[in-house]
Amino acid sequence: MIKGLIITPPVLGRISIGKVVEKNGKRLPEKDDQFTITSQIHNKEGWVKHPLDEQLRAKAPNQKLRSIPVRMLFDDPELNLRAEYTLFDRQTGRPVCIGDGESCQRRTGNGVEQHPCLSPDLCPLAHGGQCKPYARLYVNLDEQDELGSFVLRTTGFNTIRTLTARLRYYHAAVNGLLSCLPLQLTLRGKSTSQSYGTPIYYVDLTLREGVSLQHAIIEAKQLQQEAQACGFQQESLDQVARQGYANAVFDRDEGEGGVEVVEEFYPEQQDGSLRAVVSLNQVITEIQQGLQQSVSKLN
């Protein structure tokens, strides 16, 4: 295994809510009230839809894809959902600081450094909303490729909080057999004072329609027994995935298209003015200069 290269689940496609569109010469994120399943191919019209999108949409009411049947790849919730605070360099699209609220890895001219993570509200590098929560949920949709995944990327607190809770609750309720549960992604809407009554959508993870928790537990146990009988080792799979994540010197998914992520992280404002394009190196330089000036005054 190449050291320093993060090994993530093989990705067959993406699950998104909305897309980036071009309006008046500007690229802006456009939210939607349904899921879209795309392939990994991008052309001038955007991401090419995956065949599963049409198949699932044909069965959905009014062809609005608001629920997707899924299974988790791993029993460990944190292997299925990877979430952290991330600060991207807006010019390159590369993540340069990744933290969990306690400690962070920061890419500098001297290499990758370890620092305390103060969270976006308190970190001097995160001013102007540069650092946000960033999560990737890996799920299995195509049971013909049981180790392949579709990835849902999100920066929404509501989605991250809900998915984290659901994964941990289900993991506890079924005694760790998370990968054996029949689950579905469900799109929910709600209004808040900050949305001024406009619905905002977030992703929930529930049992499939018509399946009770009791029956889901029975099904999970049966599926585990069948898998063990044929020699499938879920515990070993989880361990290999854990080692793959830990193999990275700097925790970054190289194939995730940083420019597209930055477009979602730092959209142009509604009045058409572009938020200031500032790289992390510029911010670090400014902070270091300010500290040097303060030290000089004290001396």
Supply the pLDDT for residue 277.
Answer: 37
Q: What is the pTM of this model?
A: 0.84
- Concatenated DSSP letters for the chain? --TB----PPEEEEEESSEEEEETTEEEEE--SS-EEEEEEEETTEEEEPHHHHHHHHHSGGG---EEEEEES-SSHHHHEEEEEEEE-TTT--EEEEE-SSEEEEEETTEEEEEE---TTT-GGGTTTTEEEEEEEEEE--TTSTT-EEEEEE--HHHHHHHHHHHHHHHHHTTT-GGGS-EEEEEEEE--TTTTT--EEEEEEEEPTT--HHHHHHHHHHHHHHHHHTT--HHHHHHHHHHHHHTBSS---GGG-HHHHHHHHSPPPTTSPPPP---HHHHHHHHHHHHHHHHHHH-
Supply the pLDDT for residue 226.
Answer: 96
Supply the pLDDT for residue 90.
Answer: 77
Supply the pLDDT for residue 271.
Answer: 38
| pLDDT tens-digit profile, the chain (299 residues) | 788 888 999 999 999 997 766 677 666 667 888 999 999 998 887 889 999 999 999 999 988 999 999 999 999 999 999 999 999 887 777 888 999 999 999 988 888 899 999 888 889 888 777 888 999 999 999 877 999 999 999 988 999 999 999 999 999 999 999 999 999 999 999 887 666 667 889 999 999 999 999 999 999 999 999 999 999 999 999 999 999 999 887 766 655 556 667 776 666 543 333 333 344 455 555 555 555 565 565 55
Supply the pLDDT for residue 39.
Answer: 94
Supply the pLDDT for residue 273.
Answer: 36
